[in-house]
Amino acid sequence: MSAIFPSPEWLKALEAKLNTDEQYARIAKNWEGDFLFIVEPGGPVKEQILYYLDLWHGKCRKTSIPKDISEVKPAFVMRSPYENFSKVLKGELEVMQALLTRKVQLQGSMAYMMRNVPVVLDFVRVARENTKEIL
């Protein structure tokens, strides 16, 4: 199942895909860290969107759409305008390049991310496969 990014359906479909993708489960088997993705307004997105994902040992234990940033205390926060997230999902911008050039801002351990580049890349693969269309 795939869905339109950004939408609540997209987040739920991503959770289901992360929990059924054998390659992701294998590559991310040692990953420990939850995420808050902050999609800043731009293009068709008129208000900030928050997506929370609890990723743990190759599974997604929970997703939610917090109303406020203070509702969650994730290990990692990725913040970027809608355009940059959509470019990553379209394959027009590589996620590690986006992080290193700060097109996508990261709060959390960049060292942990760099030690786990295969996990980050495979997460993006799953997210791309989950995306039927981008607004």
Query: Domains (ranges, CATH) in the chain?
Result: 3-134 (3.30.1050.10)
Q: HSE on the CB side for 99, CA within 13 Å?
A: 19
Q: pLDDT for 47-65, tens place per residue?
A: 999 999 999 999 999 999 9
- pLDDT averaged over every residue in the chain: 94
Question: Using CA atoms, how far apart are residues 109 and 6, in angstroms rounded to an integer?
Answer: 26
Task: Compute the chain's Rg from CA coordinates.
Answer: 14
Which H helix or E strand runs over 126?
A: helix 117-130
Question: Using CA atoms, how far apart are residues 117 and 15, in angstroms rounded to an integer?
Answer: 20
**Mean local confidence (pLDDT), 68-84:** 95
pLDDT band at 98 (very low <50, low <70, confident <90, very high): very high
Q: pLDDT for 13-32, tens place per residue?
A: 999 999 999 999 999 999 99
Instruction: Please state the pTM of the whole predicted model.
Output: 0.92
CB atoms within 10 A of CB 90: 12
Read off the amino acid at residue 46.
Answer: K
pLDDT at position 119 is 97
Indicate if the alpha-carbon torsion angle 4, 8, 11, 12 is positive or negative.
Answer: negative
> Nearest to residue 127, comparing CAs of 26, 8, 7, 10?
10
pLDDT band at 132 (very low <50, low <70, confident <90, very high): confident
